[in-house]
Chain A
Amino acid sequence: MYQALLTRRYLFSKIMPLLASLAVMLSVAMELITWSVMGGFLDTLISTGRNVIGDVNITWPQVGFAHYDELIERLEEDDRVVSATPVTETYGLINLPGGFVKTVSIRGVDPEGYDRVTGWFGGHYWTPIEEPLRLDKDREDPRLDEELRPAFERLRSFGRRLEFDTVEDGAVRPRAAVVLGTEVYPKGAYRQRAGFVSTDIAEYLIGEDATIQVLPTDQRGGAIGPAARTLVIANEAQSGVYEIDSSVVYVPLAALQAMLKMDEAEVVAGPGKLVVDENGEPVGFAAPDTVDVSPARVTSVLVRGADGVDPKELKLACEQSYAAFSDERAGDVPRATSIIINTWRDQNRTLIAAVEKETALVLFIFGIVSLTSIFLVLAIFWSMVSEKTRDVGILRALGASKTGVAWLWVRYGLAIGTAGSLFGVLLAYAVISNINEIHDFLGEAFGLVIWDPSVYYFSTIPSDLDPVKAAIIAAAGLLSSTVGALVPAWRAANMDPVQALRFE
């Protein structure tokens, strides 16, 4: 009972317990901020996969596989699948205005289907927006401009159709278009601090020609010879993953299939027959007989799962569907045992594992650093017990037991740990909730750019305060201050009361 009274009085009567609380608070906040930012980075990395490949990617790279429509139909019969879409992807070169040439991943997509799986339309950049970006306090983003709204509406339409309407001889003629990842073309000084880019770059890029060059292969992977095609730049798209946005361009699926010789083709019976005239002189070749049709192929089918379906479960569903599909199309499509079916996490396992290990390592190192708070509390309590030696003697003279005196100090440690942990969590919450603003302030005030999106993938620092993590770290803070109080508590309990009373 007296412990509660004295803990309250001691807690607010000296600077030392406040310092001990401060030590616990800072170590709790440091651990929690680190864990939240690293964990937020990892969570965002994993969840952003939905904007890139949906939930599951069924792929047979380079040569692709046929009858994908049947596979998609089969997949969409499963309740766990919301939608599936064909994609063909290859590496190639893109020639952009100003002579800028870059190696990119060229992704042939069916815009509507690709949007259903990845939410692609939501990332199209040159579209009207209603709310300014977080840092655009003065609403300077041109996409907010009402006068430019019709123009942006048209660009949105072009991007969504992957077609650019040109007017020739008074008639509208749609041309196949390309949508660039937002970081494919260097923006340089056009990028404003608030995150948007000026319309100058749109004037320079949009509506201009871009030539893509690819190296098609036959069905056995043999090179056929380079193919090139010029398309119109219709828009730019942002997935939120810097590496994707800086290296992927989107073109119509059919256009890329044609360039890669993956479109539907007739299979003919040998060369055409020689045609001769009435004099027996050869005049040409007759078209060969068509004996079959080679179906169009794609390199991937992307699948989006229903809400709440675990990607692993969805992957299993896809494996089952593909197995049935390959049984039905045995010989025409890759075997179920060979086809590659991955979640985003599987596809990026090296990176994700590295981030997970990095998170664990940083937490471990900070955990070691936080151990210093145990010794700090120990040192402060040791000093306080020395200062309160006479109080210990008085309490023993009044009948306090050794256990009672020890509990007084342990309880005191608990109180300091509780206060430190509570304020540490609050501090962490405040920092995490405003981490991008703090980062921006550091950038403005001191020129510090800690979070470089070209290194860290995302344009904003991902963070989320998980209550479970907060509880674990707070409990660790509480434990560390209690452990730090144990030795001084033992010392206080074992003081000779007579000596303690004589202490000056």
Chain B
Amino acid sequence: MPLIEAHNIHKTYRLGRVRVPVLHGASISIEQGETVAILGASGSGKSTLLHLLGGLDTPDKASSPDRPSSIRFRDAPLAGDRYRARDVGFVFQFYHLLPELSVLDNVRLGAMVGRSRLEYLSIAGETDRRATELLTRVGLAERLRHRPAELSGGERQRVAIARALVTEPALLLADEPTGNLDRAAGDDVLDLLDELKAERELTMVLVTHSERVANRADRTVWLVDGTVRERPQQAPIAP
């Protein structure tokens, strides 16, 4: 059984009065422990597909009742906010750390969100231990009290990775995780992701426009004309 699968996904954006179709009938299936890279040109819908898989956005309704659209995680519909809080971790190109919080608080925040005060208090000690361990693991043990503005781009991305993993999610969704880093820093981040994946049996989806990055994945798919293809010139994967 795949960890997550999307069938016949459609998504159209409105830009003023103009409707811009991005995905039309995209389907993808990702197995537990697999790393999938999604490649495609700018504006092809890579990030849109990632956001849909992460429950940040919702697909349009299917045009035909005979071909329903669905996104299922462990064979169940996505559980909204709870799904994002417990099952998925996001890593973004621009890190998206909260500038007012320290490195440690940014990582803790990943565990705080989606939990009530009592729920969090019951895991606070464990979260602190895990956050510190993760930050040590990503090489930032000495920077726990620093603010994001005091870190380099690579360091910020490491904090973002630690935040994404603090809840021990099954699925890590990374949107151009090296897109804002120089090659050396980008390679470091990719090495780190590889190591963490191996340690934690993570399933990863990497959105990238770089073949070099994609080559590190177990499998690469292409987004072409709003559909997912196993090869750039191949026909769309059947829904």
Q: Using A1-B120, A5-B101, A5-B105 as known contacts, say yes or no to A396 and B56 having CB atoms under 8 A apart.
A: yes
The interface residues of chain B lying within 8 Å CB-to-CB of A404 are: 81, 113-114
Interface check B72, CB cutoff 8 A: no
Check B90–A6 contact: CB distance below 8 A: no
The interface residues of chain A lying within 8 Å CB-to-CB of B81 are: 396, 399-401, 404
Task: Enumerate B45-89 residues with CB–CB distance to A below 8 Å.
Answer: 48, 51, 54, 56-57, 80-86
Task: Enumerate A391-442 residues with CB–CB distance to B below 8 Å.
Answer: 391, 393-401, 404
Q: Which residue of B lies closest to A398 (CB)?
A: B113
Q: Which residue of B lies closest to A393 (CB)?
A: B96
Q: Which residue of B lies closest to A397 (CB)?
A: B90
- CB 8 Å contact bits of A468-504 with B (1 = contact, 0 = none): 0000000000000000000000000000111001000
Q: Using A397-B54, A400-B81, A498-B51 as known contacts, say yes or no to A1 and B112 having CB atoms under 8 A apart.
A: yes
Q: Which residue of A lies closest to B85 (CB)?
A: A399
Interface check A390, CB cutoff 8 A: yes
Q: Which residue of A lies closest to B54 (CB)?
A: A397
The interface residues of chain A lying within 8 Å CB-to-CB of B48 are: 498
Interface check A10, CB cutoff 8 A: yes
The interface residues of chain A lying within 8 Å CB-to-CB of B51 are: 498
Q: Which residue of A lies closest to B57 (CB)?
A: A498
The interface residues of chain B lying within 8 Å CB-to-CB of A398 are: 84-85, 90, 109-110, 113-114, 163
Check B100–A6 contact: CB distance below 8 A: yes
The interface residues of chain B lying within 8 Å CB-to-CB of A6 are: 98, 100-101
The interface residues of chain B lying within 8 Å CB-to-CB of A1 are: 112, 115-117, 120-121
Check A400–B113 contact: CB distance below 8 A: yes
Task: Enumerate A1-33 residues with CB–CB distance to B below 8 Å.
Answer: 1-2, 4-6, 9-10, 13
Q: How many angstroms between the C-alpha atoms of A5 and B81 in the bound complex? A: 20
Interface size, chain B (Cβ < 8 Å): 32
Check A497–B57 contact: CB distance below 8 A: yes
Closest chain B CB from A411 CB (angstroms): 12
Q: Which residue of A lies closest to B116 (CB)?
A: A1
Q: How many angstroms between the C-alpha atoms of A498 and B55 in the bound complex? A: 10
Interface size, chain A (Cβ < 8 Å): 24
Closest chain B CB from A487 CB (angstroms): 23
Q: Which residue of A lies closest to B102 (CB)?
A: A9
Tell me which of B80, B90, B163 has the highest count of chain A C-beta atoms within 10 A of its own C-beta: B90
The interface residues of chain B lying within 8 Å CB-to-CB of A397 are: 54, 56, 84, 90, 92, 96
Main secondary structure of the interface of B (DSSP, over half): helix
Q: How many angstroms between the C-alpha atoms of A396 and B117 in the bound complex? A: 18
Check B100–A395 contact: CB distance below 8 A: no
Q: How many angstroms between the C-alpha atoms of A44 and B84 in the bound complex? A: 64
Check A399–B101 contact: CB distance below 8 A: no
Task: Enumerate B15-30 residues with CB–CB distance to A below 8 Å.
Answer: none
Closest chain A CB from B44 CB (angstroms): 16
Check B56–A498 contact: CB distance below 8 A: yes
Task: Enumerate B104-132 residues with CB–CB distance to A below 8 Å.
Answer: 105, 108-110, 112-117, 120-121
Q: How many angstroms between the C-alpha atoms of A191 and B168 in the bound complex? A: 83
The interface residues of chain B lying within 8 Å CB-to-CB of A10 are: 100
Check B113–A399 contact: CB distance below 8 A: yes
Cross-interface CB contact of A9 among B100, B110, B113, cutoff 8 Å:
B100
Closest chain A CB from B169 CB (angstroms): 10
The interface residues of chain A lying within 8 Å CB-to-CB of B98 are: 6, 9, 391, 394
Tell me which of A2, A5, A395 has the highest count of chain B C-beta atoms within 10 A of its own C-beta: A2
Task: Enumerate A314-336 residues with CB–CB distance to B below 8 Å.
Answer: none
The interface residues of chain A lying within 8 Å CB-to-CB of B120 are: 1
Check B82–A399 contact: CB distance below 8 A: yes
Q: Which residue of B lies closest to A399 (CB)?
A: B85
Closest chain A CB from B35 CB (angstroms): 20
Closest chain A CB from B138 CB (angstroms): 18
Closest chain A CB from B151 CB (angstroms): 16
Closest chain A CB from B39 CB (angstroms): 20
Closest chain B CB from A331 CB (angstroms): 82
Q: Which residue of B lies closest to A394 (CB)?
A: B96
The interface residues of chain A lying within 8 Å CB-to-CB of B121 are: 1
The interface residues of chain B lying within 8 Å CB-to-CB of A9 are: 98, 100-101, 105
The interface residues of chain A lying within 8 Å CB-to-CB of B115 are: 1
The interface residues of chain B lying within 8 Å CB-to-CB of A496 are: 57
Q: How many angstroms between the C-alpha atoms of A244 and B101 in the bound complex? A: 66
Q: How many angstroms between the C-alpha atoms of A394 and B181 in the bound complex? A: 20
The interface residues of chain A lying within 8 Å CB-to-CB of B101 are: 5-6, 9
Q: How many angstroms between the C-alpha atoms of A501 and B98 in the bound complex? A: 12
The interface residues of chain B lying within 8 Å CB-to-CB of A501 are: 56, 92, 96
The interface residues of chain A lying within 8 Å CB-to-CB of B82 are: 399
Closest chain B CB from A400 CB (angstroms): 5
Q: How many angstroms between the C-alpha atoms of A399 and B115 in the bound complex? A: 9
Closest chain B CB from A336 CB (angstroms): 69
Q: How many angstroms between the C-alpha atoms of A173 and B86 in the bound complex? A: 104
The interface residues of chain A lying within 8 Å CB-to-CB of B100 are: 6, 9-10, 13
Check B85–A497 contact: CB distance below 8 A: no
Q: Which residue of B lies closest to A13 (CB)?
A: B100
Q: Beyond A395-B113, A399-B85, A404-B113: 4 further Cβ-contacts under 8 Å? A: A6-B101, A398-B114, A498-B56, A498-B57
A–B Cβ pairs within 8 angstroms, 23 of them: A1-B112, A1-B116, A1-B117, A1-B121, A4-B117, A6-B98, A6-B100, A10-B100, A391-B98, A394-B96, A396-B56, A398-B90, A398-B114, A399-B84, A399-B86, A400-B85, A401-B80, A401-B114, A404-B81, A404-B113, A497-B56, A497-B57, A501-B92
